[in-house]
Structure 1
Amino acid sequence: MESSMKPLSSDYSYYLKTFKLFLERSTEHQCLQKFIDENLPDIVTRAYLNSSKCSGAAEQQLSRDRVGDAHNYPSAFSMLPEDHPLGTRRPAKFEPNVLGIGSGSGKIDFEILHKIQSKHPSLSIHDEVVEPNPEQISSYQARVKDESQGLNISSTWNQMSSEEYEKQVKERNESKKFDLIHMIQVLYYVQSVHDSIKFLHSLLESNGKLLIVYVSDGSGWHSLWKTFGSRFTSSSLFLEVRKLLDEMRMKYQIHELSSDLDITECFIEGNENGELLLDFLTEVMHFSKTAPAALKTEVLQYLRQPQCSREEDGKVIFNNTLQVIVIDC
Structure 2
Amino acid sequence: MFDYSKHVTDSVFRLTGYCWAEVKDFANFVPTRKESTMAGISKVGRLNNDSPERYAASFTSFLDATEMSAECYYLFFESVVPDSTLCESGGEVRVLGIGSGSGEADSIITKKLLQRHSSVYNRVVEPSEGLIEKYKTLAREDTSLSAVKFDWRHQTTEEYFLSSREENIKFHHIHAINVLYYVEDPVATLRNMWEQLADGGYMLVTMESEKGDWGKLGLKLWEDFGQGDRLDTSLRMAGDIKIWLDAMGATYVSFENKVEVNATECFQENSEEGMLLLDFITHTPHTSDIPEIRAMALDFIRRHSSLVDDKIIFLSIEETIVAFKK
Question: Taking structure 2 as the reference length, what is the TM-score of the superposition?
Answer: 0.78
Asked if 1 retains the 8 angstrom alpha-carbon contact of 2:111 and 2:145, the reply is no
Larger-gyration structure (1/2):
1
Q: How far does residue 153 in structure 1 lie from its aligned partner after superposition?
A: 1.1
Alpha-carbon distance in 2 for matches of 1:96, 1:204: 12
Shift of 1:186: 0.9
Partner of 1:311: 307
1:3 is the counterpart of 2:1: no
Greater Cα offset, 138-147 or 178-187: 138-147
1:217 Cα shift? 2.0
Amino acid at match of 1:3: A
The aligned residue for residue 161 of structure 2 is 166
Report the alpha carbon displacement of residue 317 of structure 1 after superposing the two structures with TM. 1.1
1-structure distance, mates of 2:60, 2:315: 18
Task: Give 1:93-132 correspondences, 5 Å limit.
Answer: 93-117=90-114, 119-120=115-116, 123-132=118-127
Give the whole-Å Cα distance in 2 for the aligned partners of 1:134 and 1:271: 31
Q: Answer with 98-107 or 237-246: which moved more.
A: 237-246
CA contact (8 A) 1:232 1:282 kept: no
Report if the CA contact (8 A) 1:47-1:207 is conserved: no
Match of 1:226 among 201, 219, 223: 219
After superposition, give the CA deviation of every residue in 1:268-323 in whole Å (9 maximum; x if it has no partner).
Answer: 112222111111112233322x32x23211211111223xx323233211111110
Letter in 2 for 1:264: T
After superposition, the C-alpha distances for 1:65-115 in whole angstroms (9 at most, x for unaligned) are: xxxxxxxxxxxxxxxxxxxxxxxxxx3x21111111011111211222233
In the alignment, what sits opposite 1:38?
Answer: 79
Deviates more, 1:243-252 or 1:30-39: 30-39
- Does the CA contact (< 8 Å) of 2:47 and 2:280 recur in 1? yes
Aligned residue for 1:187, secondary structure, equals coil
From the superposition, tell whether residues 176 and 27 of structure 1 become closer, same or farther in structure 2 (CA, over 3 Å). Answer: farther
Amino acid at match of 1:23: L
C-alpha distance in structure 1 between counterparts of 2:204 and 2:178, whole Å? 11
- 1:4 deviation in Å? 4.0
Whole-angstrom distance in 2 between the partners of 1:21 and 1:192: 27
User: Gapped runs of 5+ residues in structure 1?
Assistant: 55-90
Provide the C-alpha distance between the structure 2 equivalents of 1:33 and 1:259, rounded to a whole number of angstroms. Answer: 12
Secondary structure of the 1:37 match is: helix
1:258 partner amino acid: K
Alignment of 1:38-57 (within 5 A): 38-40=79-81, 43=82, 45-48=83-86, 51=87, 54=88
Structure 2: gaps of 5 or more residues: 1-36
Q: Partner residue of 1:269?
A: 269
User: Are residue 138 (structure 1) and residue 133 (structure 2) matched?
Assistant: yes
Whole-angstrom distance in 2 between the partners of 1:116 and 1:150: 11
Distance in 1 (alpha carbons) for counterparts of 2:285 and 2:167: 39
Q: Report what 2:185 is aligned to.
A: 192
Other structure's SS at 1:14 match? helix
Separation in 1, partners of 2:132, 2:293: 37
Greater Cα shift, 138-147 or 317-326 = 138-147
Q: d(CA) in 2 for partners of 1:244 and 1:149?
A: 36
Is the contact made by 2:75 and 2:108 (CA closer than 8 Å) also made in structure 1? Answer: no
Cα deviation digits, residues 34-67 of structure 1 (max 9, x gap)? 3233332xx0x3142xx3xx1xxxxxxxxxxxxx
Partner letter of residue 14 of structure 1? R
SS in 2 for 1:300: helix
How many Å apart are 1:184 and its aligned residue? 0.4
Counterpart CA distance in 2 for 1:319 and 1:326 is: 23
- Distance change >3 Å, CA 328–CA 46, structure 1 → 2: same
Alignment-derived partner of residue 203 in structure 2: 210
| 2:128 partner letter | N
Aligned to 1:65: none
Contact 1:47–1:179 (CA<8 Å) still a contact in 2? no
Aligned length: 277
CA distance in 1, matches of 2:126, 2:139: 15
SS in 2 for 1:97: strand
**Structure 1 residue 328: deviation in Å?**
0.3
Name the amino acid aligned to 2:314: F
Q: Kindly provide the CA deviation profile for residues 238-261 of structure 1, in whole angstroms up to 9, marking residues without a partner as x.
A: 332222221221111111112211
